Amino acid sequence: MVDVVLGLQWGDEGKGKIVDVLTPQYDVVARFQGGPNAGHSLEFGGNKYVLNTIPSGIFHEHCTNIIGNGVVIDPVQLKKEIEKASATGVDIKKSLYISQKAHLILPTHRLVDAASEAKKGEHKVGSTLRGISPTYQDKIGRSGLRVGDILTDGFATKYRNATNIHCELLNSLNFEYNLADHEPAFFEAVEFLKQFKIINSEYFVNDLIKSGKKILAEGAQGTLLDIDFGSYPFVTSSNTITGGACSGLGISPQHIQKVYGIFKAYCTRVGNGPFPTEQENETGEMLRKLGHEFGATTGRPRRTGWLDLPTLKYAIMLNGVTDLICTKSDVLSGFEEVLVCDRYKIEGAETSELPYSMQDVKLEPLYRSFPGWTGDLSKIKTYNELPETFRNYMDYVQSQIEVPVNVISVGPDREETIIR
Ligand code: GDP
Ligand code: IMO
Ligand code: MG
């Protein structure tokens, strides 16, 4: 059987921490989409780790970790990550499996990402500049290079043909670059990756399912960044929803059982695009400060705002969420009043449905106010010990979204987790 963990907002909901907490119940953790645009943080034993491409089960010795075909891999970045994780004593050669069908991020994909964003000027998406969009464009355009290609004799030629096209594009955009600055590290990383298990992961995953192993599929980004259902065009370039786990790992929907949807007790977003409940004021500043809301990948300050139920309900619907996990509840401690948006007013009419495009209509979030709570929640172990005002807030949220909130995370550490 396969369970899925994914984000229900604009990413950074705490997927890394939650996957790490759930891993003891699973034999396998498999990433199904995205690439090093992701930054998944884990904390235990007083240390913090950030993973970009490696699945978040890697610190559990028993766990098999798979980078699925739906992921895009930057060899240079992955080499760095492997070296870092190995330095902590993890046996990557034993526990990491890489799909031969995962697409490769080439140095020129990163350059094209930078050039396209520069060309868009103030309309830029605010990408992580990791080459994600150009790599997925080549995948869909049927001209990408895959991990399996590095094991073939023709790799150097395929590489050169692909980069020639990218260079033409870069030149036409008058973008200044020197490929020679990037290629030695790229080819060194490609050689480095050959020592790991590069496999036909769709067979591997389905054999594991057949033999009764428990698999946790780990999503990256969040539902509101999904290429089809996110706030297009301010999205990433992959399907971040449950369906992405099927195409990104080669598994049938019939194998999926639980879908864990993670949401923060408030909202954040990095990069551009609509954010109805954004607080560009002291409240937003306080959320950013108390929540340490700075990107795990790029270090950019995250935009912050109140919890938004219309988008959360939309995400739960699209993903078929069975179990909800609320993170960062501790961060709201100390606010006199906590707001939740439960409807929008769009062009004068109230609704709880999302419009076709959030950026092209006059949208006003309508809020319900709750008295806040105080004190350090991070050492609390049971739901009933949480402040009554917090439970009132959570009861309301749960009554609106109609799916049980089974886990409340009250701090970044593994141990700071309340299971109901
Ligand atoms: P991901 O991309 O979904 O894995 O999330 P990130 O790791 O990018 O961002 C989440 C941040 O919040 C990380 O710094 C986590 O260590 C931290 N975090 C996760 N859960 C909690 C929580 O319940 N409380 C607090 N205070 N921090 C948390
Ligand atoms: P995790 O897995 C938050 C955002 C970028 C940008 C948009 C497109 O850590 O939750 P891209 O580089 O994908 O072309 O950027 O998506 N973005 C994320 N925001 N968390 C992430 O991943 C993100 N990955 C991409 O900021 O707005
Ligand atoms: Mg992140």
Q: Give, for ligand 2, the residue of 225, 232, 241, 275 to mutate: max count of ligand atoms closer than 8 Å to Cβ.
A: 225
Residue 291 alpha carbon, nearest atom of ligand 1: 26
Is 207 catalytic? The answer is no
**Which one-letter amino acid corresponds to residue 48?**
K
Q: For strand 349-351 and strand 323-327, is the pairing parallel, antiparallel, or unpaired?
A: unpaired
Q: For strand 2-7 and strand 267-269, is the pairing parallel, antiparallel, or unpaired?
A: unpaired
- For ligand 2, atom 27, which residue shows the shortest CA distance? 271
d(Cα 384, Cα 388) in Å, to the nearest integer? 8
Q: How many CB atoms lie within 10 A of CB 38?
A: 29
Indicate if the pLDDT at residue 297 is higher than 90: no
Q: Model confidence over 174-217: pLDDT tens digits? A: 999 999 999 999 999 999 999 999 999 999 999 999 999 999 99
**What is the dihedral sign for C-alpha 327, 333, 335, 338?**
positive
Nearest to 250 by CA among 217, 227, 283: 217
Q: Give, for ligand 2, the residue of 12, 15, 19, 37 to mutate: max count of ligand atoms closer than 8 Å to Cβ.
A: 37
Write the DSSP assignment of 169-235 as a string of letters: HHHHTT----GGGTHHHHHHHHHHHTTSEEE-HHHHHHHHHHTT--EEEE--S-GGG-TTTSSTTSS
Indicate yes or no: pTM above 0.95: yes
What would the two tokens of residue 69 be? Answer: 């075909």
Distances in Å between the alpha carbon of 276 and those of 180, 222, 268, 394?
44, 16, 11, 21
Q: Model confidence over 72-130: pLDDT tens digits? A: 999 999 999 999 999 999 999 999 999 999 999 999 999 999 999 999 999 999 999 99
Judge whether 69 and 249 are in contact, CB under 8 Å. Answer: yes
- The 8-class DSSP code of residue 415 comes to T
**Which one-letter amino acid corresponds to residue 105?**
I
What would the two tokens of residue 184 be? Answer: 């030695």
d(Cα 146, Cα 105) in Å, to the nearest integer? 9
Spatial neighbors of 348 by CB under 8 A, at least 6 apart, are none
Is 62 catalytic? The answer is no
Q: Model confidence over 327-353: pLDDT tens digits? A: 999 999 999 999 999 999 999 999 999
Q: For strand 337-346 and strand 363-371, is the pairing parallel, antiparallel, or unpaired?
A: antiparallel
Tokens 């500043």 — which residue?
A: 285
Judge whether 344 and 366 are in contact, CB under 8 Å. Answer: yes
Distances in Å between the alpha carbon of 204 and those of 67, 251, 360?
12, 11, 45
- Taking the CA of 44 as reference, the closest ligand is 1
Q: Give, for ligand 1, the residue of 29, 41, 390 to mutate: max count of ligand atoms closer than 8 Å to Cβ.
A: 41
| Ligand 1 center from residue 43 Cα (angstroms) | 9
Among residues 20, 40, 103, 330, the one annotated as catalytic is 40
* Cα angle 42-46-50, degrees, rounded to a multiple of 5: 25
Largest CA distance in the chain: 66
- For ligand 1, atom 18, which residue shows the shortest CA distance? 412
Range 320-325 average pLDDT: 98
d(Cα 126, Cα 30) in Å, to the nearest integer? 27
- Taking the CA of 110 as reference, the closest ligand is 2
d(Cα 266, Cα 261) in Å, to the nearest integer? 15
Cis, peptide link before residue 233, omega less than 30° from 0: yes
Please give the pLDDT value at position 295.
86
Tell me the Cα Rg of the chain.
21
Percent of the chain having pLDDT more than 70? Answer: 100
| Ligand 1 center from residue 279 Cα (angstroms) | 20
Q: For strand 256-264 and strand 323-327, is the pairing parallel, antiparallel, or unpaired?
A: parallel
- Taking the CA of 128 as reference, the closest ligand is 2
- The 8-class DSSP code of residue 275 comes to -
| Ligand 2 center from residue 290 Cα (angstroms) | 22
Residues at CB less than 6 angstroms from ligand 2? 7, 10-12, 34, 37-40, 125-128, 130, 132-133, 220-222, 225, 236-237, 270-271, 296
Please give the pLDDT value at position 299.
87
Please give the pLDDT value at position 336.
95
